[in-house]
Protein backbone atom coordinates (compact mmCIF):
# COMPACT_ATOMS: atom_id res chain seq x y z
CA UNK A 1 0.00 0.00 0.00
CA UNK A 2 1.41 3.44 -0.84
CA UNK A 3 1.07 6.54 1.33
CA UNK A 4 0.67 4.63 4.60
CA UNK A 5 3.77 4.67 6.78
CA UNK A 6 4.97 1.20 7.77
CA UNK A 7 4.75 0.50 11.49
CA UNK A 8 6.58 -2.30 13.27
CA UNK A 9 5.45 -3.27 16.78
CA UNK A 10 7.90 -4.53 19.39
CA UNK A 11 6.09 -6.06 22.37
CA UNK A 12 7.26 -5.31 25.89
CA UNK A 13 5.84 -8.23 27.83
CA UNK A 14 5.57 -6.85 31.36
CA UNK A 15 2.86 -7.39 33.97
CA UNK A 16 0.17 -6.28 34.48
CA UNK A 17 -0.14 -4.70 31.03
CA UNK A 18 2.15 -5.57 28.12
CA UNK A 19 2.52 -2.76 25.61
CA UNK A 20 3.98 -2.11 22.18
CA UNK A 21 6.81 0.06 20.98
CA UNK A 22 5.65 1.24 17.56
CA UNK A 23 8.55 2.02 15.24
CA UNK A 24 8.31 3.67 11.83
CA UNK A 25 8.78 6.85 9.85
CA UNK A 26 6.03 9.50 9.89
CA UNK A 27 3.92 7.66 12.47
CA UNK A 28 3.20 10.36 15.09
CA UNK A 29 -0.52 9.98 14.33
CA UNK A 30 -0.36 6.50 15.96
CA UNK A 31 -0.37 8.27 19.35
CA UNK A 32 -4.13 8.78 18.97
CA UNK A 33 -4.74 5.03 18.82
CA UNK A 34 -2.60 4.44 21.91
CA UNK A 35 -4.33 7.20 23.88
CA UNK A 36 -7.76 5.84 22.88
CA UNK A 37 -10.83 7.57 24.26
CA UNK A 38 -9.32 9.14 27.38
CA UNK A 39 -11.14 12.35 28.22
CA UNK A 40 -8.19 14.65 28.79
CA UNK A 41 -4.61 14.40 27.61
CA UNK A 42 -1.63 16.38 28.92
CA UNK A 43 1.13 16.58 26.33
CA UNK A 44 4.39 17.46 28.11
CA UNK A 45 7.19 18.78 25.94
CA UNK A 46 9.86 21.46 25.52
CA UNK A 47 9.58 24.60 23.39
CA UNK A 48 11.86 23.45 20.58
CA UNK A 49 10.32 19.97 20.35
CA UNK A 50 6.76 21.26 20.67
CA UNK A 51 7.31 23.72 17.83
CA UNK A 52 8.28 20.82 15.59
CA UNK A 53 5.77 18.11 16.54
CA UNK A 54 3.03 19.38 18.87
CA UNK A 55 0.87 20.65 15.96
CA UNK A 56 0.66 17.11 14.55
CA UNK A 57 -0.11 15.63 17.99
CA UNK A 58 -2.74 18.24 18.79
CA UNK A 59 -4.31 17.55 15.40
CA UNK A 60 -4.83 13.87 16.26
CA UNK A 61 -5.56 14.55 19.98
CA UNK A 62 -8.19 17.31 19.89
CA UNK A 63 -8.77 17.20 23.68
CA UNK A 64 -5.10 17.62 24.54
CA UNK A 65 -3.45 20.51 26.38
CA UNK A 66 0.23 21.30 25.94
CA UNK A 67 2.48 21.73 29.01
CA UNK A 68 6.00 22.99 28.36
CA UNK A 69 8.95 22.31 30.65
CA UNK A 70 12.52 23.62 30.49
CA UNK A 71 15.15 22.20 28.19
CA UNK A 72 18.20 20.44 29.58
CA UNK A 73 19.22 18.10 32.36
CA UNK A 74 19.01 20.95 34.89
CA UNK A 75 15.22 20.88 34.47
CA UNK A 76 14.91 17.18 35.29
CA UNK A 77 14.08 18.01 38.90
CA UNK A 78 11.52 17.54 41.65
CA UNK A 79 10.64 21.22 41.20
CA UNK A 80 9.64 20.59 37.57
CA UNK A 81 7.52 17.60 38.62
CA UNK A 82 5.79 19.74 41.26
CA UNK A 83 5.19 22.46 38.71
CA UNK A 84 3.73 20.02 36.17
CA UNK A 85 1.49 18.40 38.80
CA UNK A 86 0.11 21.79 39.83
CA UNK A 87 -0.57 22.69 36.21
CA UNK A 88 -2.23 19.28 35.62
CA UNK A 89 -4.47 19.93 38.62
CA UNK A 90 -5.36 23.42 37.38
CA UNK A 91 -6.30 21.93 34.01
CA UNK A 92 -8.51 19.31 35.70
CA UNK A 93 -6.48 16.22 34.75
CA UNK A 94 -7.91 13.19 36.55
CA UNK A 95 -6.78 9.65 37.23
CA UNK A 96 -8.40 8.15 34.11
CA UNK A 97 -6.74 10.70 31.85
CA UNK A 98 -3.32 10.42 30.24
CA UNK A 99 0.04 12.13 29.94
CA UNK A 100 1.93 12.10 26.64
CA UNK A 101 5.68 12.68 26.97
CA UNK A 102 6.87 14.26 23.72
CA UNK A 103 10.63 14.72 23.60
CA UNK A 104 13.94 13.19 24.57
CA UNK A 105 14.92 11.36 27.73
CA UNK A 106 14.67 14.48 29.89
CA UNK A 107 10.99 14.96 29.01
CA UNK A 108 10.32 11.21 29.11
CA UNK A 109 11.87 10.71 32.56
CA UNK A 110 10.35 13.86 34.08
CA UNK A 111 6.86 13.62 32.56
CA UNK A 112 6.89 9.87 33.20
CA UNK A 113 7.64 10.48 36.89
CA UNK A 114 5.00 13.21 37.09
CA UNK A 115 2.52 10.70 35.63
CA UNK A 116 3.67 8.05 38.11
CA UNK A 117 2.92 10.22 41.15
CA UNK A 118 0.07 12.48 39.98
CA UNK A 119 -3.19 11.08 41.43
CA UNK A 120 -1.00 8.12 42.49
CA UNK A 121 -0.48 7.23 38.86
CA UNK A 122 -2.01 8.17 35.52
CA UNK A 123 -1.30 6.48 32.20
CA UNK A 124 1.62 7.75 30.18
CA UNK A 125 2.41 7.38 26.48
CA UNK A 126 6.05 7.89 25.60
CA UNK A 127 6.69 9.66 22.29
CA UNK A 128 10.48 9.77 22.08
CA UNK A 129 12.03 12.23 19.61
CA UNK A 130 15.75 11.63 20.23
CA UNK A 131 17.67 8.53 19.20
CA UNK A 132 18.63 7.93 22.81
CA UNK A 133 15.03 8.01 23.96
CA UNK A 134 13.81 5.82 21.07
CA UNK A 135 16.33 3.07 21.70
CA UNK A 136 16.41 3.25 25.47
CA UNK A 137 14.83 5.70 27.87
CA UNK A 138 11.24 5.61 26.58
CA UNK A 139 11.06 1.82 26.98
CA UNK A 140 10.92 -0.06 30.26
CA UNK A 141 9.20 2.27 32.70
CA UNK A 142 12.13 3.84 34.51
CA UNK A 143 11.10 7.39 35.35
CA UNK A 144 12.70 9.90 37.65
CA UNK A 145 14.59 13.09 38.29
CA UNK A 146 18.00 14.21 39.51
CA UNK A 147 19.18 15.59 42.82
CA UNK A 148 22.27 17.79 43.21
CA UNK A 149 23.76 14.69 44.86
CA UNK A 150 23.38 12.53 41.80
CA UNK A 151 21.52 11.44 38.67
CA UNK A 152 18.08 9.82 38.79
CA UNK A 153 18.12 9.51 42.58
CA UNK A 154 14.35 10.03 42.88
CA UNK A 155 12.04 8.01 40.67
CA UNK A 156 9.58 5.22 40.15
CA UNK A 157 8.90 2.35 37.82
CA UNK A 158 5.92 3.41 35.74
CA UNK A 159 5.52 1.47 32.52
CA UNK A 160 3.95 3.41 29.65
CA UNK A 161 0.78 2.15 28.00
CA UNK A 162 2.59 2.51 24.69
CA UNK A 163 5.62 3.99 22.97
CA UNK A 164 5.52 5.65 19.54
CA UNK A 165 9.01 6.00 18.06
CA UNK A 166 8.81 8.04 14.87
CA UNK A 167 12.29 7.93 13.30
CA UNK A 168 11.37 10.84 10.99
CA UNK A 169 11.82 13.11 14.03
CA UNK A 170 15.49 12.15 14.20
CA UNK A 171 16.19 14.15 11.01
CA UNK A 172 15.75 17.33 13.09
CA UNK A 173 18.16 16.34 15.88
CA UNK A 174 21.35 18.37 16.29
CA UNK A 175 24.41 16.30 15.32
CA UNK A 176 25.68 16.08 18.89
CA UNK A 177 22.35 14.75 20.18
CA UNK A 178 22.16 12.18 17.41
CA UNK A 179 25.68 11.01 18.19
CA UNK A 180 24.75 10.85 21.86
CA UNK A 181 22.06 8.29 21.05
CA UNK A 182 24.65 6.21 19.29
CA UNK A 183 26.31 5.77 22.72
CA UNK A 184 23.33 3.67 23.85
CA UNK A 185 23.23 1.91 20.47
CA UNK A 186 26.88 0.91 21.00
CA UNK A 187 25.91 -0.42 24.43
CA UNK A 188 23.28 -2.72 22.90
CA UNK A 189 25.66 -3.94 20.21
CA UNK A 190 28.25 -4.80 22.88
CA UNK A 191 25.61 -6.46 25.05
CA UNK A 192 24.48 -8.57 22.12
CA UNK A 193 28.07 -9.42 21.20
CA UNK A 194 30.23 -9.66 18.11
CA UNK A 195 28.38 -11.19 15.17
CA UNK A 196 24.97 -10.27 16.59
CA UNK A 197 22.33 -8.58 14.39
CA UNK A 198 23.09 -5.12 15.70
CA UNK A 199 26.85 -5.50 15.56
CA UNK A 200 26.48 -6.65 11.95
CA UNK A 201 24.19 -3.74 11.04
CA UNK A 202 26.63 -1.23 12.54
CA UNK A 203 29.54 -2.76 10.63
CA UNK A 204 27.69 -3.10 7.29
CA UNK A 205 25.52 0.02 7.33
CA UNK A 206 27.66 2.52 9.22
CA UNK A 207 27.40 5.15 6.46
CA UNK A 208 23.61 4.89 6.38
CA UNK A 209 23.47 4.97 10.19
CA UNK A 210 25.62 8.10 10.37
CA UNK A 211 23.62 9.57 7.45
CA UNK A 212 20.31 8.87 9.29
CA UNK A 213 18.80 6.95 6.40
CA UNK A 214 15.17 6.41 7.56
CA UNK A 215 14.84 2.73 6.59
CA UNK A 216 18.11 1.83 8.31
CA UNK A 217 17.17 3.98 11.30
CA UNK A 218 13.86 2.17 11.66
CA UNK A 219 15.75 -1.12 11.58
CA UNK A 220 18.30 0.15 14.10
CA UNK A 221 15.64 1.41 16.53
CA UNK A 222 13.63 -1.82 16.15
CA UNK A 223 16.66 -3.98 16.93
CA UNK A 224 17.63 -1.92 19.98
CA UNK A 225 14.01 -1.85 21.18
CA UNK A 226 13.82 -5.62 20.77
CA UNK A 227 16.90 -6.13 22.97
CA UNK A 228 15.62 -3.70 25.57
CA UNK A 229 12.13 -5.25 25.56
CA UNK A 230 13.60 -8.73 26.09
CA UNK A 231 15.78 -7.63 29.00
CA UNK A 232 13.00 -5.59 30.64
CA UNK A 233 10.49 -8.46 30.30
CA UNK A 234 12.97 -10.74 32.09
CA UNK A 235 13.42 -8.40 35.06
CA UNK A 236 10.92 -5.50 34.87
CA UNK A 237 11.94 -3.83 38.15
CA UNK A 238 15.62 -4.73 38.22
CA UNK A 239 15.26 -7.25 41.03
CA UNK A 240 17.11 -10.30 39.70
CA UNK A 241 20.08 -8.45 38.28
CA UNK A 242 19.48 -9.23 34.61
CA UNK A 243 18.06 -5.75 33.85
CA UNK A 244 21.14 -4.26 35.51
CA UNK A 245 23.12 -5.47 32.48
CA UNK A 246 21.53 -2.49 30.65
CA UNK A 247 23.77 -0.35 32.85
CA UNK A 248 26.85 -1.49 30.96
CA UNK A 249 29.10 1.58 30.87
CA UNK A 250 26.81 3.55 33.16
CA UNK A 251 28.63 3.48 36.52
CA UNK A 252 31.37 5.75 35.22
CA UNK A 253 28.93 7.58 32.93
CA UNK A 254 26.71 8.74 35.79
CA UNK A 255 29.75 9.92 37.74
CA UNK A 256 31.07 11.81 34.71
CA UNK A 257 27.71 13.46 34.14
CA UNK A 258 27.49 14.58 37.77
CA UNK A 259 31.14 15.66 37.91
CA UNK A 260 30.79 17.62 34.69
CA UNK A 261 27.47 19.15 35.74
CA UNK A 262 25.86 17.45 32.74
CA UNK A 263 28.07 19.14 30.17
CA UNK A 264 28.77 15.70 28.76
CA UNK A 265 25.61 14.31 27.20
CA UNK A 266 24.38 11.01 28.58
CA UNK A 267 25.36 9.08 25.46
CA UNK A 268 28.82 10.66 25.35
CA UNK A 269 29.36 9.70 28.98
CA UNK A 270 28.14 6.16 28.25
CA UNK A 271 30.61 5.89 25.36
CA UNK A 272 33.53 6.71 27.68
CA UNK A 273 32.00 4.37 30.26
CA UNK A 274 31.98 1.52 27.72
CA UNK A 275 35.71 1.99 27.08
CA UNK A 276 36.25 2.03 30.85
CA UNK A 277 34.16 -1.15 31.30
CA UNK A 278 36.11 -2.96 28.57
CA UNK A 279 39.43 -1.91 30.09
CA UNK A 280 38.32 -2.88 33.60
CA UNK A 281 37.12 -6.27 32.39
CA UNK A 282 40.46 -6.82 30.67
CA UNK A 283 42.41 -5.66 33.73
CA UNK A 284 40.50 -8.15 35.90
CA UNK A 285 41.19 -10.98 33.44
CA UNK A 286 37.55 -11.33 32.42
CA UNK A 287 38.03 -10.68 28.69
CA UNK A 288 40.93 -10.70 26.26
CA UNK A 289 42.55 -7.65 24.66
CA UNK A 290 40.70 -8.12 21.34
CA UNK A 291 37.31 -8.02 23.06
CA UNK A 292 38.35 -5.00 25.11
CA UNK A 293 39.41 -3.32 21.89
CA UNK A 294 35.84 -3.65 20.51
CA UNK A 295 34.69 -1.64 23.55
CA UNK A 296 36.87 1.20 22.28
CA UNK A 297 36.68 0.80 18.51
CA UNK A 298 32.88 0.68 18.27
CA UNK A 299 32.17 4.00 20.04
CA UNK A 300 35.11 5.53 18.17
CA UNK A 301 33.71 4.38 14.80
CA UNK A 302 30.42 6.04 15.71
CA UNK A 303 32.19 9.36 16.34
CA UNK A 304 31.83 9.22 20.11
CA UNK A 305 34.41 10.31 22.69
CA UNK A 306 36.49 7.47 24.14
CA UNK A 307 38.43 9.48 26.76
CA UNK A 308 37.37 11.83 29.51
CA UNK A 309 37.93 15.36 28.22
CA UNK A 310 41.13 16.82 29.63
CA UNK A 311 39.74 19.58 31.84
CA UNK A 312 38.47 22.99 30.82
CA UNK A 313 40.39 22.75 27.56
CA UNK A 314 38.85 19.36 26.67
CA UNK A 315 35.63 18.95 24.75
CA UNK A 316 33.83 15.64 24.65
CA UNK A 317 31.43 17.11 22.13
CA UNK A 318 34.20 17.34 19.60
CA UNK A 319 33.63 13.81 18.39
CA UNK A 320 36.47 12.14 16.53
CA UNK A 321 38.23 9.15 17.92
CA UNK A 322 39.83 10.60 21.02
CA UNK A 323 37.34 13.24 22.16
CA UNK A 324 40.21 15.58 22.99
CA UNK A 325 39.60 18.49 20.68
CA UNK A 326 39.61 22.05 22.02
CA UNK A 327 36.55 23.59 23.63
CA UNK A 328 35.25 24.65 27.03
CA UNK A 329 32.93 21.80 27.99
CA UNK A 330 35.59 19.75 29.76
CA UNK A 331 35.16 17.60 32.86
CA UNK A 332 38.03 18.52 35.19
CA UNK A 333 38.04 15.54 37.52
CA UNK A 334 40.40 12.93 38.92
CA UNK A 335 39.83 9.30 39.75
CA UNK A 336 39.30 9.95 43.50
CA UNK A 337 36.41 12.29 42.80
CA UNK A 338 34.91 9.86 40.30
CA UNK A 339 35.26 6.96 42.75
CA UNK A 340 33.48 9.00 45.43
CA UNK A 341 30.62 9.69 43.01
CA UNK A 342 30.48 6.04 41.93
CA UNK A 343 30.24 4.94 45.56
CA UNK A 344 27.15 7.14 45.85
CA UNK A 345 25.54 5.65 42.74
CA UNK A 346 22.19 4.18 43.68
CA UNK A 347 23.15 0.81 42.25
CA UNK A 348 26.14 0.44 44.58
CA UNK A 349 25.50 -1.36 47.87
CA UNK A 350 28.15 0.41 49.92
CA UNK A 351 31.03 -0.30 47.55
CA UNK A 352 31.58 -0.06 43.82
CA UNK A 353 29.30 -1.88 41.43
CA UNK A 354 30.12 -2.31 37.78
CA UNK A 355 28.52 -4.16 34.90
CA UNK A 356 31.28 -5.90 33.00
CA UNK A 357 31.68 -8.42 30.19
CA UNK A 358 33.16 -11.77 31.09
CA UNK A 359 33.26 -15.44 30.14
CA UNK A 360 29.62 -15.89 31.24
CA UNK A 361 28.43 -12.75 29.43
CA UNK A 362 27.76 -9.30 30.86
CA UNK A 363 27.17 -9.35 34.62
CA UNK A 364 27.41 -7.33 37.81
CA UNK A 365 30.86 -7.17 39.40
CA UNK A 366 31.42 -5.64 42.84
CA UNK A 367 34.54 -4.00 44.19
CA UNK A 368 37.23 -4.77 41.63
CA UNK A 369 40.84 -4.41 42.88
CA UNK A 370 42.29 -0.90 43.06
CA UNK A 371 45.04 -1.75 40.56
CA UNK A 372 42.51 -2.80 37.93
CA UNK A 373 40.51 0.38 38.52
CA UNK A 374 43.66 2.45 38.06
CA UNK A 375 44.36 0.74 34.72
CA UNK A 376 40.80 1.34 33.57
CA UNK A 377 41.00 5.01 34.55
CA UNK A 378 44.24 5.31 32.62
CA UNK A 379 42.54 3.80 29.56
CA UNK A 380 40.09 6.72 29.49
CA UNK A 381 42.72 9.33 30.32
CA UNK A 382 41.81 9.99 33.97
CA UNK A 383 44.69 10.83 36.30
CA UNK A 384 44.86 9.57 39.89
P1 LIG B 1 17.35 15.42 26.02
O2 LIG B 1 16.04 14.92 26.41
O3 LIG B 1 17.97 16.49 26.83
O4 LIG B 1 17.27 15.87 24.49
C5 LIG B 1 18.40 16.46 23.90
C6 LIG B 1 18.07 17.79 23.22
O7 LIG B 1 17.44 17.53 21.99
C8 LIG B 1 17.15 18.69 24.00
O9 LIG B 1 17.59 20.02 23.85
C10 LIG B 1 15.80 18.50 23.30
O11 LIG B 1 14.97 19.61 23.41
C12 LIG B 1 16.24 18.30 21.88
N13 LIG B 1 15.36 17.52 21.01
C14 LIG B 1 14.64 16.43 21.33
N15 LIG B 1 14.09 15.91 20.24
C16 LIG B 1 14.46 16.68 19.20
C17 LIG B 1 14.24 16.63 17.79
N18 LIG B 1 13.57 15.63 17.24
N19 LIG B 1 14.76 17.59 17.03
C20 LIG B 1 15.52 18.58 17.57
N21 LIG B 1 15.79 18.66 18.88
C22 LIG B 1 15.26 17.72 19.70
O23 LIG B 1 18.44 14.24 25.97
P24 LIG B 1 18.32 12.67 25.67
O25 LIG B 1 19.67 12.27 25.26
O26 LIG B 1 17.17 12.35 24.82
O27 LIG B 1 17.99 12.03 27.10
C28 LIG B 1 18.92 12.07 28.15
C29 LIG B 1 18.21 11.71 29.42
O30 LIG B 1 17.70 10.38 29.33
C31 LIG B 1 19.11 11.76 30.63
O32 LIG B 1 18.45 12.47 31.65
C33 LIG B 1 19.25 10.29 31.03
O34 LIG B 1 19.46 10.11 32.41
C35 LIG B 1 17.93 9.73 30.58
N36 LIG B 1 17.91 8.28 30.37
C37 LIG B 1 16.90 7.57 30.94
C38 LIG B 1 16.82 6.21 30.74
C39 LIG B 1 15.65 5.43 31.30
O40 LIG B 1 15.66 4.20 31.24
N41 LIG B 1 14.64 6.10 31.81
C42 LIG B 1 17.78 5.55 29.94
C43 LIG B 1 18.80 6.31 29.37
C44 LIG B 1 18.85 7.70 29.58
N1 LIG C 1 18.56 2.31 30.86
C2 LIG C 1 18.63 1.25 31.82
C3 LIG C 1 17.31 0.61 32.09
O4 LIG C 1 16.31 0.98 31.54
O5 LIG C 1 17.25 -0.29 32.88
- Per-residue H/E/C for 254-299: HHHHHHCCCCCCHHHHHHHHHHHHHHHHHHCCCCCHHHHHHHHHHH
Q: How far is the CA of 244 from the centre of ligand 2 (A)?
A: 7
Do residues 299 and 337 make contact, with C-beta atoms less than 8 angstroms apart?
A: no
**210 pLDDT more than 60:** yes
- pLDDT at res. 323: 35
Report how far residue 374's alpha carbon sits from residue 384's, in angstroms, rounded to the nearest whole number.
7
- Whole-number average pLDDT of the chain: 91
Dihedral pair phi/psi, residue 205, rounded to 5°: -120, 30
Q: Which long-range contacts (CB under 8 A, 24 or more apart) does 88-93 make?
A: 88/42, 88/114, 88/118, 91/40, 91/42, 91/65, 91/67, 92/40, 93/40, 93/42, 93/118, 93/119, 93/122
Stated as kind and residue range, the H or E segment containing 20 is strand 19-24
Most informative mutation of 177, 235, 262 for ligand 1 (most atoms within 8 A of CB):
177
Q: How far is the CA of 195 from the centre of ligand 1 (A)?
A: 29
> Distance of CA 312 to CAs 309, 319, 321, 324, 335, Å?
8, 16, 19, 11, 16
Ligand 2 atom 3: residue of nearest CA? 246
Out of 82-86, 262-266, 299-303, which region has the weakest mean confidence (pLDDT)?
262-266
Q: Which fold has domain 248-384?
A: Dehydroquinate synthase-like, alpha domain (1.20.1090)
**329 pLDDT more than 60:** no
Report pTM.
0.92
Residue 8: closest CA among 25, 33, 31, 28: 25
- pLDDT at res. 262: 64
Q: What is the Cα gyration radius of the chain?
A: 20
The CATH code for residues 1-238 is: 3.40.50.1970
Task: Say which ligand is closest to the CA of 188.
Answer: 2
**Region 65-83: what's the mean pLDDT?**
97
**360 pLDDT more than 60:** yes
Q: How far is the CA of 192 from the centre of ligand 1 (A)?
A: 24
Q: How far is the CA of 128 from the centre of ligand 1 (A)?
A: 8
Query: Max alpha carbon distance in the chain (Å)?
Result: 61
Q: For residue 184, which atom of ligand 1 is closest to its CA?
A: 43
Q: Where in the chain is the domain with CATH 1.20.1090.10?
A: 248-384
- pLDDT at res. 318: 40
**370 pLDDT more than 50:** yes
Q: For residue 247, which atom of ligand 2 is closest to its CA?
A: 2
Q: How far is the CA of 60 from the centre of ligand 2 (A)?
A: 30
Q: Which amino acids bring their CB within 6 angstroms of ligand 1? A: 46, 48-49, 52, 71, 73, 76, 103-107, 109, 129-130, 132-133, 136-137, 140, 142, 151-152, 169, 172-173, 177, 180, 265-266
Report how far residue 197's alpha carbon sits from residue 255's, in angstroms, rounded to the nearest whole number.
31
Task: Say which ligand is closest to the CA of 246.
Answer: 2
Report DSSP state, residue 84: H
Share of the chain above pLDDT 90, in %: 81
Angular region, 122: left φ>0, alpha ψ -120 to 50, beta rest: beta
Q: For residue 231, which atom of ligand 2 is closest to its CA?
A: 5
Is residue 4 very low, low, confident or very high in pLDDT (cuts 50, 70, 90)? low
**316 pLDDT more than 80:** no
Report DSSP state, residue 367: -
Task: Say which ligand is closest to the CA of 112.
Answer: 1
**Region 65-85: what's the mean pLDDT?**
97
Out of 3-7, 223-227, 249-253, 286-290, which region has the weakest mean confidence (pLDDT)?
3-7
Ligand 1 atom 21: residue of nearest CA? 173
Do residues 270 and 298 make contact, with C-beta atoms less than 8 angstroms apart?
A: no
More confident residue, 340 or 53: 53
Q: For residue 106, which atom of ligand 1 is closest to its CA?
A: 2
Q: How far is the CA of 133 from the centre of ligand 1 (A)?
A: 6
Q: Which amino acids bring their CB within 6 angstroms of ligand 2? A: 136, 140, 142, 243, 246-247
Out of 228-237, 238-247, 268-277, 308-317, which region has the weakest mean confidence (pLDDT)?
308-317
Q: For residue 181, which atom of ligand 1 is closest to its CA?
A: 25
- pLDDT at res. 325: 34
Is residue 345 very low, low, confident or very high in pLDDT (cuts 50, 70, 90)? low
Q: Where in the chain is the domain with CATH 3.40.50.1970?
A: 1-238
Dihedral pair phi/psi, residue 44, rounded to 5°: -100, 130
Residue 322: closest CA among 344, 343, 338, 307: 307
- pLDDT at res. 322: 35
Amino acid sequence: MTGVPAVVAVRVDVPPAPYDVLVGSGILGEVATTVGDRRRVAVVSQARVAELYAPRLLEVLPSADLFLMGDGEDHKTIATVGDLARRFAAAGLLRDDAVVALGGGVVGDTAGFAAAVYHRGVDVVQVPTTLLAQVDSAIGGKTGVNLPEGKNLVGAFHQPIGVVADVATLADLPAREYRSGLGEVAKYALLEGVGGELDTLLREESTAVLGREPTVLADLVRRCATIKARVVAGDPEERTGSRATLNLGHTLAHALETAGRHRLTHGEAVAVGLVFAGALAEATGRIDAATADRYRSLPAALGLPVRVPAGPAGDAAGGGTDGASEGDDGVEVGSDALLALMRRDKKAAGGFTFVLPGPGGVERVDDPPAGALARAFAAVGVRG
